[in-house]
Amino acid sequence: MKLTPFHLHLEELHKQFLELKDGNVADYIPELAKVNPDHFGIVIVTVDGHVYQVGDSRVEFSIQSISKAFTYGIALEDNDLETVESKVDVEPSGEAFNSISLEPDTGRPRNPMINAGAIATSGLVAGNTGEEKINRILEVFEKYTGRKLNVDLQIYESEKTTGHRNRAISHLLRNYDILNGDPEEVLDVYFRQCSINVTCRDLALMGATLANDGVNPITGIRALDSKKIPNVLGVMASCGMYDYSGNWIYRVGMPAKSGVGGGIVAVLPGQLGLAVFSPRLDEKGNSVRGLAVCETVSQTFDLHMLHSTRTTTSSTIRRNYDGSIVRSKILRDGPAQEILDQYGHGIRVLDLAGDMQFVSAELVMHEIMAREKLPTHVILNFKHVSSINHAAVQQLCDLAVTLHNEGCQLIFIEIPKSFGLTSKFKSMLSDESFWPQMGFDDIDHALESCENDILESYDWESSIINQKGQPSSQPILSDMTTEELAFISSLMESKVFEENEIICKEGEPADKVFFVEEGQVSVWVNIIVSVSKKKKKRINVVGEGFAFSEGALLGAESRIADIIADQKSIISWFETGKLFDNDSAIALNIQKKLYKNLAIQTFHKLELSNKEIKSLMQ
């Protein structure tokens, strides 16, 4: 695959900072001093799972303090918020990572990013033993990275034997009951978690998972509950770089976490994860090249999160039309068409697109509610929506309640299964009577249902009187004399088809014209979705009193579609050959009228299609 300009940019950046050799590798944990100081990797992973990596992107190194942010997320999932906040605050300390910054009266560490707060957080991970806790941490970390991880035992032993300050902190925390039980056991969990080996690519993917609302953008696995994302990113933004956090949010502008192993991970919510690996550290314990690269990337590509561009609400509504313009595929008689011409505008259809957030849902709500007359039906099509956040779902719940109370039927169609919208509605809107209808396969079925509601509310009855076994007053047979109808009847055959029974198949000779005397049939075509995948698409619905396969009158060779009975139906037909081979005057007159009626029907269908095309062009 050709390298994109963005990739080339990163390669340039890597080359530029290769010469930056300021700083020293950490040596207060002896094993860390053995790392190659010249290692240097840069990786960016987008929320679409696109990976851009240069340099030492797959060299393993010790995660160290970067683990704190992800373990904090686990603690938030394993405990209620009140418990976590009672054990660790979320205030930046403005002090070094190993400072003993505890609240004077409660002994609560200032935040979960400094060692004291991190040790308290490790103690909050679910598990009856240290082993269970570290296994839970590894299990969750592996959801972020999408691969097996391990604790580097040399680094663990090295930290365990020299970690006297952390040992003192853990006993101090025990003294304040921030830790319960044996502080040594929790400290051991903390040392193991810091000694987990990761690569620069892993870190960028972990960052991208946080950016992607907690879902790994490559594997699709959820690593963290969506509701905990703001908590984790919040402490990363305010405390992640310790006593450089102020400068960091000013110069780089992304939630981040550094580690003395030489890693930095930064998160641009909704967009990407950025990671740098370069072991030389400054006096605050942050990677020198890491800081320089992140600042340059942020400024070069305008990634500062507080410089967010306007949310693209303009693309939220990709199509906006009503039921008088676009109809369902079911053929309807003249009176029904007139009712729908007059009242179909009460059906409002919005095709939605993009990532739905608060403002996009607000735009949808405004588009519906700001009308002079509220619609009778609203269909929201989610086919092109790529994500929907909590705030947008809340807006849609409020819309559902309002429309229900106004007697307006709300319908959702083509909801991507990954949204879990039904379960989200259940959790936010307990009264099911407010829920929108979500059972239609596609827009056509939803439109048909709305049209039927309208026709029913205007007491429309099929104006076509059916005489079983006789050609009824079908539009294609209008203007026929009694003798002509009797002549056609003499050519007719009839059969009862059961629900889902195939009436005729694609590829068969097109030598018959069919009439639905009773019931309903659908016309299905096979659509090629990919080389190996086909999908059936309903292109027409023919109700009683209408004909289908009129193409046989125009010399069509073979059928282009399957015709299947939607319900038990009485179907009549005549073979076109029996009419065309008959050169009597009555047969010729019938042919002329059939062609005229067919031309009128086709013109009406063309008129409707033109209205739909016009709405597409708006």
Residue number with the shortest CB distance to ligand DON? 65
Alpha helices in 417-561 (DSSP H): 421-428, 443-457, 482-491
- For the chain, what is the largest distance between any 2 Cα atoms, rounded to a whole number of angstroms? 111
Which residue stretch of 140-148, 257-265, 382-390, 538-546 sits at the interface with ligand DON (rule: CB under 6 A)? Answer: 257-265
Confirm or reject binding of residue 497 to ligand DON (CB under 6 A): no
Q: One of 72, 144, 242, 244 is an active-site residue; which one?
A: 242
Q: One of 25, 47, 189, 260 is an active-site residue; which one?
A: 260
User: 197-198 and 547-548 as β-strands: parallel, antiparallel, unpaired?
Assistant: unpaired
Confirm or reject binding of residue 259 to ligand DON (CB under 6 A): yes
User: 377-388 and 409-413 as β-strands: parallel, antiparallel, unpaired?
Assistant: parallel
Q: Considering the complex, what minimum distance in angstroms separates the CB of residue 36 from ligand DON?
A: 18
Q: Identify whether 143 is a catalytic site residue.
A: no
Q: Identify whether 458 is a catalytic site residue.
A: no
Of 167 and 318, the one with the shorter C-beta distance to ligand DON is 167
Confirm or reject binding of residue 92 to ligand DON (CB under 6 A): no
Q: One of 43, 45, 68, 298 is an active-site residue; which one?
A: 68
Q: Write phi, then psi, for 77 (nearest 5 degrees).
A: -75, -30
Confirm or reject binding of residue 64 to ligand DON (CB under 6 A): yes
| Buried-state track 277-307, b at ≥16 Cβ within 10 A, e below 16 | bbbbbeeebbbbbbbbbbbebbeeeebbbee
Determine which residue in the list 57, 115, 231, 245 makes contact with ligand DON, applying CB under 6 A: 115
Q: What would the two tokens of residue 357 be?
A: 């957030």
Q: One of 57, 62, 65, 122 is an active-site residue; which one?
A: 65
Q: Considering the complex, what minimum distance in angstroms separates the CB of residue 103 from ligand DON?
A: 20
Confirm or reject binding of residue 260 to ligand DON (CB under 6 A): yes
Q: Considering the complex, what minimum distance in angstroms separates the CB of residue 27 from ligand DON?
A: 12
What region does 261 belong to: left with phi over 0, alpha with psi -120 to 50, or beta? alpha
Q: Considering the complex, what minimum distance in angstroms separates the CB of residue 239 from ligand DON?
A: 11
Confirm or reject binding of residue 98 to ligand DON (CB under 6 A): yes
Confirm or reject binding of residue 339 to ligand DON (CB under 6 A): no
String of DSSP letters for 528-579:
EEETTEEEEEEEEEEETT-EE-GGGGGT--B-SSEEEESSSEEEEEEEHHHH
Determine which residue in the list 71, 93, 121, 166 makes contact with ligand DON, applying CB under 6 A: 166
Please give the residues from 132 up to 161 whose contact with ligand DON meets the rule CB under 6 A: 159
Q: Identify whether 65 is a catalytic site residue.
A: yes
Rg (CA), the chain: 34
Which residue stretch of 253-261, 294-302, 491-499, 565-573 sits at the interface with ligand DON (rule: CB under 6 A)? Answer: 253-261
Of 256 and 303, the one with the shorter C-beta distance to ligand DON is 256
Q: One of 52, 72, 190, 321 is an active-site residue; which one?
A: 190
String of DSSP letters for 138-161:
HHHHHHHHSS---B-HHHHHHHHH
Determine which residue in the list 43, 189, 194, 399 makes contact with ligand DON, applying CB under 6 A: 194
The residues, ordered by sequence, that sit 6+ positions from 607 with a Cβ below 8 Å of its Cβ are: none
Burial, 517: exposed, middle or buried (Cβ in 10 Å; 0-12, 13-18, 19+)? buried
Confirm or reject binding of residue 285 to ligand DON (CB under 6 A): yes
Number of H helices, E strands in the chain: 20, 20
Q: In whole angstroms, give the CA distance from residue 20 to residue 17.
A: 5
Q: Considering the complex, what minimum distance in angstroms separates the CB of residue 116 from ligand DON?
A: 10
User: 512-518 and 520-530 as β-strands: parallel, antiparallel, unpaired?
Assistant: unpaired
Number of neighbours of residue 578 by Cβ within 10 angstroms: 15
Q: Identify whether 242 is a catalytic site residue.
A: yes
Q: In whole angstroms, give the CA distance from residue 385 to residue 352.
A: 6
Dihedral sign, Cα of residue 207, residue 213, residue 218, residue 219: positive
Which residue stretch of 139-147, 258-266, 316-324, 434-442 sits at the interface with ligand DON (rule: CB under 6 A)? Answer: 258-266
The residues, ordered by sequence, that sit 6+ positions from 491 with a Cβ below 8 Å of its Cβ are: 574, 575, 578, 579
The position carrying tokens 């400290």 is: 187
Q: In whole angstroms, give the CA distance from residue 201 to residue 198.
A: 8
Which residue stretch of 39-47, 145-153, 198-206, 254-262 sits at the interface with ligand DON (rule: CB under 6 A)? Answer: 254-262
Q: In whole angstroms, give the CA distance from residue 274 to residue 286.
A: 15
Of 240 and 436, the one with the shorter C-beta distance to ligand DON is 240
Which residue stretch of 2-10, 48-56, 99-107, 255-263 sits at the interface with ligand DON (rule: CB under 6 A)? Answer: 255-263
Please give the residues from 349 up to 408 whose contact with ligand DON meets the rule CB under 6 A: none
Q: Identify whether 449 is a catalytic site residue.
A: no
What region does 371 belong to: left with phi over 0, alpha with psi -120 to 50, or beta? beta
Q: Considering the complex, what minimum distance in angstroms separates the CB of residue 156 from ligand DON?
A: 10
Determine which residue in the list 17, 97, 435, 487 makes contact with ligand DON, applying CB under 6 A: 97
Q: Between 9 and 48, how does the x/- string for binding to ligand DON read (CB under 6 A)?
A: ----------------------------------------
Q: How many residues bind ligand DON (CB under 6 A)?
A: 13
Confirm or reject binding of residue 263 to ligand DON (CB under 6 A): no
Of 286 and 569, the one with the shorter C-beta distance to ligand DON is 286
Confirm or reject binding of residue 65 to ligand DON (CB under 6 A): yes
Of 121 and 540, the one with the shorter C-beta distance to ligand DON is 121
Confirm or reject binding of residue 288 to ligand DON (CB under 6 A): no
Q: 381 in helix, strand or coil? A: strand
Of 64 and 549, the one with the shorter C-beta distance to ligand DON is 64
Confirm or reject binding of residue 569 to ligand DON (CB under 6 A): no
Alpha helices in 458-493 (DSSP H): 482-491
Residues acting as catalytic residues: 65, 68, 190, 242, 260
Q: Can you give the binding site for ligand DON, defined by CB under 6 A?
A: 64-65, 97-98, 115, 159, 166, 194, 258-260, 285-286
